[in-house]
Homo-oligomer: A and B are copies of this chain.
Amino acid sequence: MKIGIVFGGKSFEHEISIVSAIAMKRVLKAELVYIFCDYNRDFYLIPTDKINSKRFSSGEYKKDKKLILKKGGFFQKSMMSEKRVELDIALNISHGADGEDGKMASLLEFFEIPFIGPRLEASVISYSKLFTKIYAREFGVKTLEYKTLQKSSSRDIELDYPVIVKPTRLGSSIGISIVKNRDDLDYALDVAFEFDTQVVIEPFIQGIKEYNLAGCKTETYQFSIIEEPQKEEFLDFDKKYLDFSRTKRVSEANLSDEMVEKLRDTFVKLYEPLFAGSLIRCDFFVLDGEVYINEINPVPGSMANYLFDNFDEIIANLASYLPRSTKVPAQYKYINTIGAAKGK
């Protein structure tokens, strides 16, 4: 199988997407083709044997072959013809905007390139911290309480401190602050509003337990081990950045069978309605024995490979369980009927 690793994009998470993409070389046995989307949204074919992070930061990638995205795939243009980049399936590993917000899913669906990754609806729901919450609640999964604030709204709000302030639509801890009292709120809001016009404010619960579980659905659900991420107050971007290059298997959290079951059941409730075709990581909170969803990562850092024993096998398998799109018959029934009625 030939996998096209699609990464980059016009996004604050452009750099960590590069790191995640490079990690795939170490954990996937399939033949890989690297398709890079630069900050300018131009696509390039990066030679697999020469890929390293400096190639991008130095701009050297601009000497690589430029690609055009159109129906059926990515094409390399020469003087007289266009040659399709051969791949059996694309793996979307662009984090943040473009990759996780639904644009990459739209491009791949519209141009009919089979891919592993969240579909359009799944992307939009999980990219927004607000939509994640209302989606989760609709399907019977608990979330922490929250308030939302628009950039233009009054900041005169009642809160029980400490709180955590997050831009609604960014991952990887960008623009997030913990606020301990009213005096520090304005600065935190200013920071968050640099990145989004809307913020979500949640209680910050010291010492809340956090557990990460990744998985996908093939014949049945394939679950990873459950990790208890090591954290200080919370992982900031620099620390998370290093985190995206992880390829070493981590150790399993020490949980009762009952809690493992509960986390898996919650995962299924979130995955089932929208996430077919993707491998996601759910970040849960556990408080007084109750499970709350914090975030759904539909393109997790380094695809959460470090949580699986058989990551390579799961990806290969998932390629056969992609959702089918509804068939639309190409017909002109109404136009013809009306034409006939008018005697045309």
- What residues of chain A have their CB less than 8 Å away from a CB belonging to chain B? 10-12, 14-16, 18-19, 38-42, 53-54, 56-57, 68-71, 97-98, 101-103, 105-107, 109-112, 120-121, 124-125, 128, 130-131, 134-135, 137-138, 150, 195-196, 198, 237-238, 241-242, 273, 326, 328, 330, 332-339, 344
Can you pick out 28 interface pairs between chain A and chain B where the beta carbons lie within 8 Å of each other?
A11-B328, A15-B334, A18-B335, A39-B328, A40-B330, A41-B71, A53-B338, A53-B339, A57-B332, A97-B326, A101-B120, A102-B121, A103-B106, A103-B110, A103-B120, A106-B107, A107-B107, A120-B124, A121-B124, A124-B125, A130-B138, A131-B131, A195-B326, A198-B273, A237-B334, A238-B334, A241-B338, A242-B338
Q: Which residues of B contact A57 (CB under 8 A)?
A: 332, 335-336, 339
Q: How far is the CB of A175 from chain B (nearest CB, A)?
A: 11
Q: How far is the CB of A225 from chain B (nearest CB, A)?
A: 28
Pick from B14, B19, B121, B326: contact of A128, CB below 8 A: B121
Contact present for A16 and B121 (CB under 8 Å): no
Task: Kindly report which residue of chain B lies nearest to residue A135, judged by CB atoms.
Answer: B134
Q: Which residues of B contact A121 (CB under 8 A)?
A: 102, 124, 128, 131
Q: How far is the CB of A21 from chain B (nearest CB, A)?
A: 12
Contact present for A103 and B112 (CB under 8 Å): no
Contact present for A332 and B40 (CB under 8 Å): no
Q: Which residues of B contact A339 (CB under 8 A)?
A: 53-54, 57
Q: How far is the CB of A115 from chain B (nearest CB, A)?
A: 14
Pick from B16, B137, B328: contact of A334, CB below 8 A: B16
With A103-B120, A110-B41, A150-B273 given, is the CB distance from A56 to B130 under 8 Å?
no
At the interface, is chain A mostly helix, strand, loop or mixed? helix
Q: How far is the CB of A82 from chain B (nearest CB, A)?
A: 11
In the docked arrangement, what's the CA distance between A273 and B168, Å?
12
Contact present for B110 and A98 (CB under 8 Å): yes
In the docked arrangement, what's the CA distance between A185 and B132, Å?
32
Task: Kindly report which residue of chain B lies nearest to residue A18, judged by CB atoms.
Answer: B335
Contact present for B41 and A328 (CB under 8 Å): no
Contact present for A70 and B68 (CB under 8 Å): yes
In the docked arrangement, what's the CA distance between A337 and B334, Å?
61
Contact present for B103 and A39 (CB under 8 Å): no
Q: Which residues of B contact A125 (CB under 8 A)?
A: 124, 131
With A42-B71, A150-B273, A196-B326 given, is the CB distance from A335 to B54 under 8 Å?
yes
Q: Which residues of B contact A70 (CB under 8 A)?
A: 68-69
Additional pairs, 20, CB under 8 Å, beyond known A41-B110, A242-B338: A11-B328, A14-B330, A15-B334, A15-B335, A39-B330, A41-B111, A42-B71, A53-B335, A54-B335, A56-B335, A57-B332, A57-B335, A68-B70, A102-B120, A102-B124, A103-B120, A124-B124, A134-B134, A195-B326, A241-B338
Q: Which of A102, A106, A120 has the most CB of B within 10 A?
A: A106
Q: How far is the CB of A275 from chain B (nearest CB, A)?
A: 13
In the docked arrangement, what's the CA distance between A159 and B42, Å?
53
Task: Kindly report which residue of chain B lies nearest to residue A337, judged by CB atoms.
Answer: B238
In the docked arrangement, what's the CA distance between A241 and B195, Å?
42
